[in-house]
Amino acid sequence: MLNVDLDRLILALDDPIAVIRNAAAQELGKRKAKEALPKLFVLLEKDENALVRDNVAFALGEIGDPSAIPCLIRALKDRDEWVRKSAAKALAYLNASEAADDLIMLLNDPSPTVRKTAVRTLGILGITKACPYIERLLNDENILVKKNAIQALEQLKSKK
């Protein structure tokens, strides 16, 4: 029965209605359904609905398979800020230190939400080469970006 449900959820990723694709991606993430990875990769790169792409990025982090890392790194350049944020967060779940340079680039993102998540992820991943870039965020106009920059620097200095 479980496989039938899983197969239906994977099929739902092809549904023409975005809300259904979105719900399927969320549930597949919760179930850590690696069987859905190929379709999730396609959705993250090609779905026209930003909310679907956002939830797919989050689901890929929940599933936790390192094969998602290249797709998530590409999603850091998505036109939607919430997709970029979710991709950065998912990379933290995947312990994706190979995304360091791409995450450092996000520290200049126009969205404070994206900057905050990127700085948090760099701290979690222990990317010490990011310290000079993170220090610049201590002057950010957004208080949450500043707060996360302070926390990330504390994490990173303890790793040196």
Structural contact between residues 133 and 107, judged by C-beta atoms closer than 8 angstroms: yes
Q: Which residue has the tokens 């739902």?
A: 12
Spatial CA neighbour of 118 closest among 79, 154, 81: 81
Rg (CA), the chain: 16
CA 5 – CA 147 distance, rounded (Å): 43
CA 128 – CA 122 distance, rounded (Å): 8
Spatial CA neighbour of 68 closest among 103, 42, 49: 42
CB count in 10 Å sphere of residue 129: 11
Structural contact between residues 62 and 55, judged by C-beta atoms closer than 8 angstroms: no
CA 25 – CA 117 distance, rounded (Å): 21
Give the tens place of pLDDT for each residue, 57-104: 999 999 999 999 999 999 999 999 999 999 999 999 999 999 999 999
**Residue 77, token pair as written in the block:** 């350049």
Question: Tens-digit pLDDT profile for the chain (160 aa)?
Answer: 356 589 999 999 999 999 999 999 999 999 999 999 999 999 999 999 999 999 999 999 999 999 999 999 999 999 999 999 999 999 999 999 999 999 999 999 999 999 999 999 999 999 999 999 999 999 999 999 999 999 999 999 887 5
pLDDT of res. 1: 36
Task: Report pTM.
Answer: 0.93
